[in-house]
A and B are shown apart, each in its own frame.
Chain A
Amino acid sequence: MAKKKEPAADPVALDPEDRAIVRQVIQDIVGCGIPDAESRLSAMDGATVAKILELENAGERSQIVAILFA
């Protein structure tokens, strides 16, 4: 579940555990599988990934929907 730590701003440098969290958030919201979620994750900039992680950690998943479908 939610982890309390500062996310990396650069998705390339994203901690593997954080990356798995963001990927699972994408899977949960979109309903897609791992390859599609990884593809969507890789297409995001670092700030977006960091924002998703921040919202997930804060229990604000509903706000992530707008980011994913923006």
Chain B
Amino acid sequence: MGLHNAYAVKYGSTVIAGLQQLNAQTNPNVEAESGSGSPFPQFAVITSQRPRMMFNTKMAAAVLGLTGLTGAVIDGTNSLIGYFASLAASGLPAAGTVHRSYTAVRGLLYPRRISCSARGNLSVDAEAVLFSSDGATHPIAVSDAVALPAITPANILHGIGPITLGVTGTTVTAGCLQDVSIDFGSSPETLGCGSDLYDMHLQLTRVAPVITLRGIDAAVFAAAGGVPAVGQPLTHAATKIYFRKRNTTGVGFVGDATAEHIKLTANGVAVVTEHTGQGTSRAEVSIQITTAWDGTNAPVTINTASAIT
């Protein structure tokens, strides 16, 4: 009997702890071939596997610093390792090199989504698509004889900060936000050849981030001073989304002038999608920002060490 719990992820030399979820998948394609003569499948076969590793953490700055918008390459220098701690009789992680690891040396680690609710902490969903060197070598190496990496307290947390949208000279301040989320819209695809069991190639076909802001200040949906019904163009220069870093003491926030906050800028269009209320609860306005490349910067830029200005 070997009980384990999710412990940490390591990319290169960077250890990401404080995980909310860790999921190592083989993602197999299994076929049950049927033919005449029997209602039962006559051959069960694993035709391919497309392994993935996924995790969720509130160490958003660390993850976004690694991946940026388009992801971080997993290779021999910067491998990706998912750790599951083997539990001792005490119920705590056992001592020694007795733990489970899943190691990948080919792939792409990329951000799928970040989200933060009012008074909550920013969390990030990250995923790694993995592939093989030769189509026959499994993309994930499994070991039950590793030590756990050293971890530090997962206390680098961020809450919703000030958000302004628009173009230079015409900006909207999103007030009283209840939720901010970004779906990074990344579509990395791996590809295999012939009868290869595992993919050998990778292509990032699309990165199309969509940002959703949800708040209770109806003034954000207005012809003047808000996002008008027809929509609002956005540029990087005037569209800033901050996530404010909490003090590691747990009391208050890091000062605005200190370059430790997360800043995102975006280019594209914003449109109010709905103003909705249920029962006696306060109505909410939702703004959807669909981003686009401006010819220079990525659709969303990410700075994990920014002052709030």
CB of B297 within 8 A of CB of A32, answer no
B49-69 interface mask toward A, CB cutoff 8 Å, 1 = contact, 0 = none? 000000000000000111111
Interchain CA distance A33-B207 in the complex, whole Å: 14
Q: Tell me the interface secondary structure of chain A in the complex.
A: helix
Is B228 positioned at the interface, with any CB of A under 8 Å from its CB? no
Residue of B nearest to A60 (CB): B296
Set B71, B207, B298: member contacting A28, Cβ < 8 A: B298
Q: Tell me the interface secondary structure of chain B in the complex.
A: mixed
How many residues of B are counted as interface, with CB atoms below 8 angstroms from the partner's CB atoms? Answer: 25
Set A20, A28, A35, A36: member contacting B297, Cβ < 8 A: A28
Q: Which residues of A contact B (CB under 8 A)?
A: 20, 24, 27-37, 61-62, 64-65
Q: Which residues of B contact A (CB under 8 A)?
A: 12, 64-73, 78, 207, 265, 295-305
Q: Could you list 22 A-B pairs, sorted by A, with CB under 8 Å?
A: A20-B305, A27-B68, A27-B301, A27-B302, A28-B265, A28-B297, A28-B298, A28-B301, A29-B297, A30-B70, A30-B298, A31-B207, A31-B301, A32-B69, A32-B71, A32-B72, A33-B64, A33-B65, A34-B65, A35-B72, A62-B295, A62-B296
| Given A31-B299, A33-B65, A33-B68; 20 other pairs, CB 8 A cutoff | A20-B305, A27-B68, A28-B297, A28-B301, A29-B297, A29-B298, A30-B68, A30-B298, A31-B68, A31-B207, A31-B301, A32-B69, A32-B71, A32-B72, A34-B66, A35-B66, A35-B78, A36-B72, A61-B296, A64-B296
